[in-house]
């Protein structure tokens, strides 16, 4: 293979924009066109916590091999933000390309000898062709997409098709957009050699995959799962979960004749109220959920303890962002694991789900409602900003029409008639899960008092230590029952091939799978497991027990998953080697590879640092 061929369908393009200038839809057009050409692509939005005027980047990785994680090293920068231009010039790999607006001369400070410059007079072209100020601004973005289409050999018909869909109902906008695209194409054709070595070629690698963000998938999953009450408080990056739920509900839950809705969505006054409403609705027999991020999860702790102890089904989608406190609200992280697992004071444990793809966001949201009602406890789905807010190539959504909602152990009027004495917290089936009733079921049977205080098996207030302990033990029994109800981990090899294992979850999957291949190239074979849920089941224990070294890949500083494995499985901490990433950007395969390689073949031992003299105490 010549080096030229290596650059087909394998590079990273980064767009440097100013937020609020309409670049998002142009950049999306670029990524989607490549997707339409059957080539795996992964776009990432790197945006500020701001509405207008600050730098924002859109990074698109194109990977013939189907690696959908982020990759270090930028091959091509589209620089239309003067604010960040120094940084953007520096970010280009040697030999890479730098596309800029050549309406004005490029200042010498931006000149590097080792990269290629492509000037397109975006402003000049747009000022000549468009009169409206907003259009002049907007179409600059479309012109550079046109230029890229020429440079990378993107099929123009793919761009045309997406534009037609984007402007469905606003058809008169199609023509000026096409014009702007062509302006970019024509300028390249007239002034540069095209296409570049870096370019795309149609493939058939996408199959029936779809492209969607995880938050939308969660919202859709909640519609399919039969959620009828959503209560939430806006917080980045979770906001679009309920927004998606709302817009899908407008489509599928509104009676066309009466206009009445089979759904209630309430924007609460804060996260405490949001989770309170969810608990109230679930208590009363409606499927209800909320979506939030770290700060919201902190606020919801007290109520989660109530739902755990009073055993009220609750579904919470936590789209994690970089903490602690307000942290970096528009950057990704997997750092709410311990907070979620043990949310609230006292002895509590919660069921956690870790989706990796939009399809899993859909599936696990639907499953979360079944699990919450089966187990009568909070189920917290831990997704993250990367999965939630970025578009991902994902397997398509699937729904089996034969699938029923599993509402768990609920007694109706007929069942209550047959019971001599109803015990809300009586473990009849010996699985730790007891029977509940909805308010209003029976005139004289089945009513009980739900409370956060201790009670006996018949829901009567009790300060009896024995009754309390019996109940707490039953809750653990229930949690053990959950181990085999939650999604099982994905084990990559059915038979172990190595003494080394790698363990990961959530969005680290993309980079981890790529890292496995990179390690293989270095003749290092590893086994792998992806955790999909907490509590951990036996498969996780077996995987840890059957490997000498397990690299635990996670996107936080404190190795929270490792802690959870140590606490819950009593896994030997010496075996668990952390591979961490916590700069707010999603983890890359190179990063994983470097950390693992460093551990496996440490550089020649450095001279020991002289032992510090003991401080004399005077």
Partner 1 sequence: MSYIRPKFRHPELPKNKLGYTIDHYEGSLSTLCAGCGHDSISAGILQACFEMNIEPHKLAKLSGIGCSSKTPAYLLGNSHGFNSVHGRMPSVATGANLANRDLIYLGVSGDGDTASIGMGQFVHVIRRNLNMLYIVMNNGCYGLTKGQDSATADRGSKNKSGNVNAFESIDLASLAIELGATFVAQSFSGDKKQLVPLIKAAFKHPGFAFINVISPCVTFNNNVGSTKSYDYVRHHIEATSTIDFVPEMKTITAEYSEGTSKNVKMHDGSYISLNKLSKDWDPLDRVSATNAVLNARAKNEILTGLLYMNPDCNDLHNLLQTSDRPLNSLTKEDLCPGSEILKTINADLR
Q: How far is the CB of 240 from partner 1 (least distance, A)?
A: 15
| CB contact at 8 A, 483 and 540 | no
CB closer to partner 1, 407 vs 477: 407
Look-up of token digits 């959950």? 482
3-state secondary structure 508-563: HHHHHHHHHHHHHHCCCCCEEEEECEECCCHHHHHHHHCCCEEEEEECCCCCHHHH
CB closer to partner 1, 265 vs 579: 265
CB closer to partner 1, 101 vs 213: 213
Per the document, the length of the chain is: 618
Helix (H, G, I), strand (E, B) or coil at 182: helix
Q: How far is the CB of 490 from partner 1 (least distance, A)?
A: 22
Rounded Cα gap, residues 355 and 505, in angstroms:
8
Q: How far is the CB of 353 from partner 1 (least distance, A)?
A: 20
Q: How far is the CB of 357 from partner 1 (least distance, A)?
A: 13
Rounded Cα gap, residues 509 and 405, in angstroms:
29
Q: How far is the CB of 497 from partner 1 (least distance, A)?
A: 36
With vertex at residue 510, the alpha carbon angle to CA 54 and CA 351, rounded to the nearest 5 degrees, is 95
Q: How far is the CB of 440 from partner 1 (least distance, A)?
A: 5
CB closer to partner 1, 302 vs 583: 302
| CB contact at 8 A, 456 and 434 | no
Q: How far is the CB of 420 from partner 1 (least distance, A)?
A: 17
The continuous run of DSSP H or E covering 413 comes out as helix 413-418
| CB contact at 8 A, 135 and 127 | no
CB closer to partner 1, 424 vs 474: 424
Rounded Cα gap, residues 305 and 348, in angstroms:
7
CB closer to partner 1, 298 vs 462: 462
**C-alpha count within 13 angstroms, C-beta hemisphere, residue 480:** 10
CB closer to partner 1, 168 vs 618: 168
Q: Give the full edge-to-edge strand order of the sheet including 116-120.
A: 41-46, 55-63, 10-18, 74-79, 92-101, 116-120
Q: How far is the CB of 441 from partner 1 (least distance, A)?
A: 7
Q: How far is the CB of 279 from partner 1 (least distance, A)?
A: 6
Q: How far is the CB of 221 from partner 1 (least distance, A)?
A: 11
Q: Which residues pair with 576 in a beta bridge?
A: 550
CB closer to partner 1, 282 vs 471: 282
CB closer to partner 1, 450 vs 597: 450
- Residue 381 to residues 185, 273, 334, Cα–Cα distance (Å): 45, 19, 12
| CB contact at 8 A, 350 and 380 | yes
Q: Which token pair is 253? A: 């839950």
CB closer to partner 1, 442 vs 530: 442
Rounded Cα gap, residues 128 and 19, in angstroms:
24
């Amino acid at each position: 293979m010549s080096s030229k061929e290596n650059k087909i369908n394998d590079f990273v393009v980064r767009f440097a924009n100013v937020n609020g200038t309409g670049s998002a839809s142009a950049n999306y057009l670029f990524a989607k066109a490549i997707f339409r050409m059957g080539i795996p692509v992964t776009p990432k939005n790197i945006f500020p916590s701001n509405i207008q005027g600050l730098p924002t980047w859109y990074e698109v990785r194109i990977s013939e091999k189907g690696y959908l994680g982020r990759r270090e090293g930028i091959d091509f920068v589209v620089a239309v933000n003067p604010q960040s231009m120094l940084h953007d010039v520096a970010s280009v790999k040697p030999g890479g390309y730098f596309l800029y607006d050549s309406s004005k001369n490029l200042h010498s400070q931006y000149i590097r000898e080792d990269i290629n410059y492509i000037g397109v007079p975006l402003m000049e072209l747009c000022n000549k062709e468009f009169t409206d100020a907003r259009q002049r601004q907007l179409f600059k973005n479309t012109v550079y997409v046109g230029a890229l289409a020429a440079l990378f050999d993107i099929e123009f018909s793919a761009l045309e098709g997406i534009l037609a869909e984007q402007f469905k109902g606003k058809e008169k906008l199609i023509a000026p957009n096409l014009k702007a695209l062509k302006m970019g194409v024509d300028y390249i054709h007239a002034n540069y050699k095209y296409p570049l070595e870096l370019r795309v070629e149609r493939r058939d690698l996408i199959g029936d995959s779809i492209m969607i963000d995880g938050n939308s998938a969660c919202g859709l999953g909640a519609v399919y799962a039969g959620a009828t009450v959503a209560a939430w408080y806006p917080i980045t990056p979770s906001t679009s979960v309920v927004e998606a739920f709302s817009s899908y509900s407008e489509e599928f839950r509104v009676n066309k004749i009466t206009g009445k809705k089979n759904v209630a969505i309430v924007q609460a006054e804060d996260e405490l109220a949001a989770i309170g409403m969810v608990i109230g609705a679930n208590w009363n027999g409606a499927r209800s959920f909320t979506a939030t991020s770290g700060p919201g999860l902190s606020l919801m702790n007290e109520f989660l303890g109530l739902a755990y102890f009073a055993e009220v089904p609750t579904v919470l989608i936590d789209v994690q962002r970089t903490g602690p406190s307000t942290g970096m609200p528009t950057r990704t992280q997997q750092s709410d694991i311990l907070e979620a697992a043990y949310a609230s004071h006292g002895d509590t444990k919660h069921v956690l789900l870790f989706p990796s793809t939009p399809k899993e966001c859909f599936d696990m949201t639907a499953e979360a409602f079944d699990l919450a009602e089966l187990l009568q406890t909070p189920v917290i789905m831990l997704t993250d900003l990367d999965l939630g807010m970025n578009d991902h190539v994902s397997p398509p959504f699937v729904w089996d029409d034969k699938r029923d909602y599993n509402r768990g152990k609920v007694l109706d009027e007929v069942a209550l008639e047959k019971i001599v004495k109803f015990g809300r917290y009586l473990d009849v089936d010996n699985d730790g899960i007891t029977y509940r009733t909805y308010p209003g079921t029976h005139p004289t049977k089945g009513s009980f008092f739900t409370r956060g205080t201790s009670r006996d098996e018949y829901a009567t207030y009790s300060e009896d230590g024995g009754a309390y302990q019996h109940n707490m033990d039953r809750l653990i029994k229930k949690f053990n029952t959950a181990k085999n109800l939650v999604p099982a981990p994905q084990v990559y090899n059915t038979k172990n091939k190595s003494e080394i294992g790698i363990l990961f979850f959530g969005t680290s999957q993309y980079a981890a799978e790529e890292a496995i291949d990179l390690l293989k190239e270095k003749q290092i074979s590893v086994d792998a497991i992806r955790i999909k849920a907490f509590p951990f089941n036996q498969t996780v224990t077996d995987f840890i027990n059957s490997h000498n070294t397990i690299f635990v890949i996670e996107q936080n500083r404190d190795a929270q998953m490792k802690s959870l494995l140590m606490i819950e499985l009593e896994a030997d901490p010496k075996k668990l080697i952390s591979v961490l990433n916590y700069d707010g950007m999603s983890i890359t395969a190179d990063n994983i590879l470097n950390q693992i390689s460093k551990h496996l073949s440490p550089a020649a031992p450095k001279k020991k640092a002289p032992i510090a003299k003991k401080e004399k105490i005077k």
